[in-house]
Amino acid sequence: MKFKHPIAFAMAAASLLAAPLHAQEAAYPRQAVTLVVPFPAGGPTDAMARLLAQKLGDRLGQQVIIDNRGGAGGGIAAELVARAPADGHTLFFGTTGTMAINPSLYAKLRYDPVKDFAPVSLMATTMNVLVASPEIPARNLADLIALAKARPGELTYGSAGNGSSNHLSGELFRSTAGIQITHVPYKGSAPAMVDLLGGRLSMMFDTIAQQTQNIAAGKVRALAVTGPKRSPLLPTVPTAQEAGLKGFDVTIWYGVLAPRATPAPVVERLNREMVAVMASDDMKKRMEADGAEARTTTPAEFAALIRSDTAKWAPVVKASGASLD
């Protein structure tokens, strides 16, 4: 076939190049899709992933199977997906911790959150709430900061362990407020909460869903939420920024990523289906009930978020002295 005009030739060439890409998307998925979750079954990350898997599978026309691979702060699961075939049939359920905090926390990380993955989309965001023991004479965040400055090093905050989100929330609070508070690490959030309820800890950052009943019962006092806006579950509790702590924002996110070389049409298909799933009223309500917000992005926006949060948390982890092998 001959083309008398260069534009006609260019259009024909473009259509020939596009054909294989459309074929790739049309053929995907050819089998069940595995969504690798970096933590054991039963936790909040697993719960989020399972909600998405069912709805996403319905839209893809193939089952989305959850594969829980805990260990190394999510590193075992991340490395598994980074090394998996880049065909869209093995995906990673990433979090702030696995993608933005681990690079600074682990001395020998066996995956690169930026180079080894193709971001698909964010799924949801959530935040923590700062709760204090009723025995602490602080009715609001300003009172707590003033108390900490008057009694440097005496107030304590618990966490699920070094490098956990509630530990680093406390470190960011300490540095932003310019106060000295003492970190007490535990093996999980549950034992830390036991000591907070027993008056042996001054405060703790924890997920909102875990604290709503304690707050309502007056067992703890909610001083601030860590996100950029108030939580529908705690509408009377101000954000830390509203309470005067400028620049303080701890937003925890969940999202889906594929191995780096996954074809663009497959990533685009996954993104389109995720956006549709999370836009449904049902998913929005489910997220809100868990203290989260349904939120999707383009692949490029998700990649930018990973880079910006990695830069944000690096100095916090360094200042905390937390380091894991």
Whole-structure pTM value: 0.87
Domain assignment present for 244: no
Give me the helices (H) in the chain, please: 6-27, 44-60, 75-82, 96, 102-105, 141-150, 165-177, 189-197, 208-216, 264-279, 281-289, 299-320
Tell me how far apart the alpha carbons of residues 177 and 247 are, in angstroms, rounded to a whole number. 10
**What is each CA distance from 12 to 20, 97, 159, 260, 283, in whole angstroms?**
14, 46, 61, 30, 43
DSSP 229: S
The contacts of residue 267 (CB under 8 Å, 6+ apart) are 88, 118, 120, 258, 299
- Please say whether the beta carbons of 173 and 216 come within 8 A: no
CATH code of the domain in which 137 resides: 3.40.190.10
**Which residues of the chain are modeled with pLDDT < 50?**
1, 3, 10, 18-19
End-of-domain residue from the set 209, 225, 241:
225
The contacts of residue 200 (CB under 8 Å, 6+ apart) are none
Domain assignment present for 3: no
Q: What's the pLDDT at 43?
A: 85
Same domain, 182 and 117: no
Query: Going by DSSP bridges, is the β-strand pair 221-225/117-132 parallel, antiparallel, or unpaired?
Result: antiparallel
End-of-domain residue from the set 208, 225, 242:
225
* DSSP per-residue string spanning 172-217: HHHHHHT---EEEE-SSHHHHHHHHHTTSSSEEEEEHHHHHHHHHT
Tell me how far apart the alpha carbons of residues 128 and 240 are, in angstroms, rounded to a whole number. 11
Q: What's the pLDDT at 9?
A: 53
Same domain, 13 and 119: yes
Domain assignment present for 297: yes
Query: What is the biggest distance separating any 2 CA atoms in the chain, rounded to whole angstroms?
Result: 86
Domain assignment present for 247: no
Domain assignment present for 1: no
Same domain, 36 and 100: yes
End-of-domain residue from the set 181, 210, 225:
225
Same domain, 109 and 185: no
Determine the structural domain holding residue 65 and report its residue range: 8-126+252-320
pLDDT tens digits, 83-125 = 999 999 999 999 999 999 999 999 899 999 999 999 999 999 9
Same domain, 16 and 115: yes
Q: What's the pLDDT at 189?
A: 87
Quick one: tokens of 60?
A: 């893809």
Same domain, 165 and 215: yes
Same domain, 44 and 118: yes
Q: What's the pLDDT at 323?
A: 87
Q: Which of 35, 31, 38, 85 is nearest to 56 (CA)?
A: 35
**What is each CA distance from 137 to 21, 133, 146, 188, 202, in whole angstroms?**
63, 9, 11, 27, 10
CATH code of the domain in which 310 resides: 3.40.190.150
Domain assignment present for 100: yes
Q: Is 167 helix (H, G, I), strand (E, B) or coil?
A: helix
Same domain, 157 and 80: no
Same domain, 159 and 204: yes
Same domain, 52 and 94: yes
Same domain, 39 and 119: yes
B/e letters for 57-68, b = 16+ CB within 10 Å, e = fewer, are beebebebebeb
Quick one: tokens of 32?
A: 């069940």
Total domains present in the chain: 2
Same domain, 201 and 298: no
Domain assignment present for 281: yes
Tell me how far apart the alpha carbons of residues 33 and 44 are, in angstroms, rounded to a whole number. 21
The contacts of residue 285 (CB under 8 Å, 6+ apart) are none
Domain assignment present for 12: yes
